[in-house]
Structure 1
Amino acid sequence: MLAATNALLQIRRSLETHVGQQIRLRAHRGRRKTLEKVGVLENTYPSIFVVRIDEPNYNQRLSFSYADVLTETVELTLMQKARESKTKNLA
């Protein structure tokens, strides 16, 4: 039980460092239903974290527990900002 508690605490600390950043969320809702959205990790709380989804005609806040991440019911991927690559023509 102590190992599970440490794992949940480690997940929470990891998410706390990414508050305000854009993430890709994949949540398994059972019976072949999967929710895939891109949102912003809005806040972390002692038992849950909140993701804000801002899409045209779809504004919602979703909350999940850290145990959902541990059991892989929820998968989170940090979105990297696309960096512009500048190429020079050497002619």
Structure 2
Amino acid sequence: MPISLAAIKDKLDSRIGQRMKVVAQAGRKKTTERHGILKETYRSVFVVDLDQQENAFERVSYSYTDVLTKNVQIAFDDETTEA
């Protein structure tokens, strides 16, 4: 069954406040891995508050489309598979 943007948002809505890992494509064969807490979800993006000891900035946002197209992969600390 194909995953929709609404299904991705619904899953994230139920996980607000939980720790997560985000792996994002950063160009040619480069990825960035960040850890933080899912802070908020909006109509087309979600916001992650980042761990301050790892990152120079406080938060980052990603679109649900990035997750759908696999440009961004997310995993919560209590699960072993990625969304």
TM-score by length of 1: 0.76
1:56 is displaced (CA, Å) by: 1.7
Alignment of 1:57-76 (within 5 A): 58=55, 59-76=57-74
Larger CA Rg, structure 1 vs 2 = 1
Q: Count residues in correspondence.
A: 77
Give the number of the structure whose residues are more often helix, by fraction.
1
Name the one with the larger strand percent: 1
Q: Identity of counterpart residues, as a percentage? A: 38
- Quickly say closer, same or farther: Cα 1:10–1:30, change in 2 above 3 A: same
How do 1:39-50 residues align onto structure 2 when only pairs under 5 Å count? 39-50=36-47
How far, CA to CA, are the matches of 1:25 and 1:57 in structure 2? 13
Residue number in structure 1 paired with 2:77: 79
1:12 to 2:26 alignment: no
- Give the CA RMSD over aligned residues: 2.0
- For structure 2, the 5+ residue unaligned runs are 79-83
